[in-house]
Amino acid sequence: MISVVIPTVNSERLLPRCFDSLITAAVRGVVRDVIVCDAGSTDATLAIADAAGAHVVHARKGRGLQLAQGAAAAKSDWLLFLHPQTALEPGWEVEAESFISQAVMERPRAAVFRFALEDFGGEARRAELKANLRTSLFALPYGDQGLLIPKRLYQKIGGYRALADMEDADLVRRIGRRRLVGLRARAVNIARPPMSAWRGLALLLLHALRVPSGVLARL
């Protein structure tokens, strides 16, 4: 049913947690295969992926390119793009199955999970609120929220582009608000230094003005 695509670069610390969140879905047959698109890891990333039974695709560095190559190797009719620092909360596969069964009978649509952080501080709660408001108001989720999309829709809109940055925003803008659904299940991420809301909006504006992705990556 679903092929999971995960881009990695020296992700040994993150992958076990991400893989653990997929086990129940794999046992139920919801997840058919897991594809790790690696860009030259020198740690134990590849050993962990191999031990988990994932299919490894070797790619040049650049998340957009890695995700595109992983999608090309996928066997299922549905794709789930996950970052290695992301773990889906227990029970996500039940909601995903329900969404897929409805989407098959309707026009093709994609879905993202609610953003959450593995942190107990007030700053984490505020970051979650901002991220989920951005998703609901502007239909611009972060890549950390996962993306569940039918392969035919992914291919129709041109898939991931080989961008140095903002590859997720680029793809969801082509999906469009009317074809993007927010799921209730959470994508729980390992906390990282927060980007200010103004800086994030500024980068989105520059992306919309077609500033080259290499410039955005440096910013």
3-state secondary structure of 133: helix
- Which residue bears the tokens 């290499």? 214
List, for residues 157-212, the tens digit of each pLDDT value.
Answer: 999 998 878 899 999 999 999 999 999 999 999 976 444 444 555 555 554 555 56
**pLDDT exceeds cutoff 80 at 219:** no
Q: 162: Cβ–Cβ under 8 A, 6 or more apart, which residues?
A: 62, 64, 65, 68
Torsion angle of C-alpha atoms 158, 160, 166, 172, degrees rounded to 10: 60
3-state secondary structure of 217: helix
Instruction: Tell me which H or E stretch contains 186.
Output: strand 180-189
**pLDDT exceeds cutoff 90 at 30:** yes
Separation between Cα atoms, residue 9 and residue 61, nearest integer Å: 8
3-state secondary structure of 147: strand
Higher confidence at residue 103 or residue 47?
47
Q: Based on the number of CB atoms within 10 Å of its own CB, is 187 exposed (0-12), middle (13-18) or buried (19 or more)?
A: buried
List, for residues 141-166, the tens digit of each pLDDT value.
Answer: 999 999 999 999 999 999 999 887 88
Structural domains in the chain plus CATH codes: 2-218 (3.90.550.10)
Given a contact cutoff of 8 angstroms between Cβ atoms, the answer to whether 22 and 88 are in contact is yes
